[in-house]
Structure 1
Amino acid sequence: MDKLVLAGQEFDSRLIVGTGKYASGQALADSIKASGSQIATMAVKRVDMEHATDDIIKPLRELGVTLMPNTSGARTAKEAVYAAHLAREALGTDWIKVEVHPDQKYLLPDTIETYEACKQLVADGFKVFAYCQADLCLCKGLEELGVAAVMPLGSPIGSAKGLQTEPFLKLILKECRCPVIVDAGIGAPSEAARSLEMGAAAVMVNTAIAASGDPVVMSRAFRAACEAGRLGYEAGLASQFETARATSPMEQFLNSLKD
């Protein structure tokens, strides 16, 4: 497979993992090893920012995983910006996943506050990964700001409901030039494969692995699914060629929604 390139860095794996809901640091480490993932995200508020020796940061550093701290828990752009600067100072990384969700029940991203936080953090020199609604206009706007990637949700975070926003994800994948990472709601390896078959640069998975009956085995399943999905995309799905034969732009658009 070709390499995943994010913020100027190359990676072999297209699976990004979360670090919540694991029974222990050892369970987290074993799962990440099995997944082959080289990037992990963690909430700034959940880690020991002073010593970086807790059950999350320590195993990640030992595995050589690239850290993508996130601002989960931030209710406003101002809070997200503060958390990002705290993470950069403590962890020595300018990578930040922006999450702004004032409603702590559903954790749906606030469009306006997310945009404002990303605007400020890009100006502050961060490599910004924007968790956002599956909204083409928003993703294009974030792309114009200069974010490292947009991360539209497939369905509500932690729901494992799959790719409920697939028609909108297809539009985003078609129109955005920056990397698109499908984040939130992926509940099965087949959905990760489907995301990559559609052309997503990567997928972000946490609950589907950590809350499964056997996180290590599930990690292996997601690893294989991501590899299969990307290879399918690179090979060129038959449906893509059928769409290309459509006689009008409208037919092409309608066919793309059926894929």
Structure 2
Amino acid sequence: MQVLDPSPSALEITPTPEDAPLVIAGREFRSRLMTGTGKYANFETMRQAIAASGSEIVTVAVRRVQTNAPGHEGLAEALDWSRIWMLPNTAGCKTAEEAIRVARLGREMAKLLGQEDNHFVKLEVIPDAKYLLPDPIGTLQAAEQLVKEGFAVLPYVNADPILAQRLEAVGCATVMPLGSPIGSGQGIRNAANIRIIIENATIPVVVDAGIGTPSEAAAAMEMGADALLINTAIAKAQNPVLMGHAMGLATTAGRLAYRSGRIPIQSHASASSPLAGRITE
């Protein structure tokens, strides 16, 4: 596969005019796109794709790094963590107890890589091996304990508005409802519930999982999501670097569109040119 070597100027993502930064647990980020590190053909492609996306938050599966799982050997050293904020995740954990233990390891991993004040964790509790759907009860239990231990918890959940409210109430830093199953590329299949979550939340809402195209990324941001997390759609694209750039642009475009306010949908046509002053015979 030919990998594009883009120039920095060509890939610069224009900041949203007069937009406030994304704030998670008191930390500010300019980009509203988070990316992952899994499924890439090699580390060089991963590095270029993440750079092209403009992402400042990158998630890393703690268990896979700790055990040197295939494709993850050397992953912790493959990125410049002085420029990228690490989001350790508890992928592979089936119970709340496992997730809590792995979250603690993730915090120590971040410290070893120079991020002494990094208490972020993307919380995943997934006992379902076929559809990879998160366990709502286990997620809530783990979130409560991790918040008590000083973690900034970013929980990955089904698009359940009541669960989202419960997670916010126990002190989570964000809530991360899935658009559709992980890696499925089905797009946003839970739009109605995600809109309710966005409407009620006072913490950032990050749409995570299922986005397959830049148009879907833009649509999620147009709904009012605060940020997105996209991995498979970039990593498994025919050209991950170009797709990373496209996803970054789409995230910005969707945010701009949301802040702009769309026109009302009408049942009839409305002429774009005024009728007053037209030439008539």
TM-score by length of 2: 0.82
Q: State which of 109, 114, 120 in structure 2 corresponds to 1:95.
A: 120
2:190 paired with 1:171: no
Aligned counterparts of 2:39 and 2:215: Cα–Cα separation in 1 = 22
Structure richer in helix, relative to its length: 1
2:206 paired with 1:181: yes
Structure of higher CA gyration radius: 2
Q: State which of 83, 98, 102 in structure 1 corresponds to 2:102.
A: 83
C-alpha distance 109-239 of structure 1, shift in aligned 2 (>3 A) = farther
Consecutive unaligned residues in structure 1, runs of 5 or more: 243-259
Residue number in structure 2 paired with 1:124: 149
Determine what percentage of the aligned residue pairs are the same residue.
48
Determine if contact 1:40/1:65 at 8 Å carries over to the other structure.
Answer: yes
Residue number in structure 2 paired with 1:145: 170
Aligned counterparts of 1:87 and 1:207: Cα–Cα separation in 2 = 22
Summarize deviations over 1:215-259 as a string: whole Å, max 9, x none: 00001110110110011111122249x8xxxxxxxxxxxxxxxxx
Q: State which of 154, 157, 161 in structure 1 corresponds to 2:179.
A: 154
Residue number in structure 2 paired with 1:70: 89
C-alpha distance 63-123 of structure 1, shift in aligned 2 (>3 A) = closer
Aligned counterparts of 1:207 and 1:116: Cα–Cα separation in 2 = 28
TM-score by length of 1: 0.88
Give how far 1:105 is off: 2.1
Consecutive unaligned residues in structure 2, runs of 5 or more: 1-15, 112-117, 267-281
Aligned counterparts of 1:33 and 1:63: Cα–Cα separation in 2 = 14
Residue number in structure 1 paired with 2:54: 36
Residue number in structure 2 paired with 1:57: 76
Q: What is the DSSP-based 3-state SS (H/G/I as helix, E as strand, rest coil) of the residue aligned with 1:69?
A: strand
2:123 paired with 1:104: no
Q: What is the DSSP-based 3-state SS (H/G/I as helix, E as strand, rest coil) of the residue aligned with 1:32?
A: helix
CA-atom RMSD in angstroms: 1.7
C-alpha distance 22-91 of structure 1, shift in aligned 2 (>3 A) = same
Residue number in structure 1 paired with 2:227: 202
Aligned counterparts of 1:110 and 1:207: Cα–Cα separation in 2 = 21
Aligned counterparts of 1:152 and 1:214: Cα–Cα separation in 2 = 27
Aligned counterparts of 1:178 and 1:63: Cα–Cα separation in 2 = 26
Question: Which 4+ stretches in 1 moved above 6 angstroms?
Answer: none
Give how far 1:56 is off: 2.2
Give how far 1:90 is off: 2.3
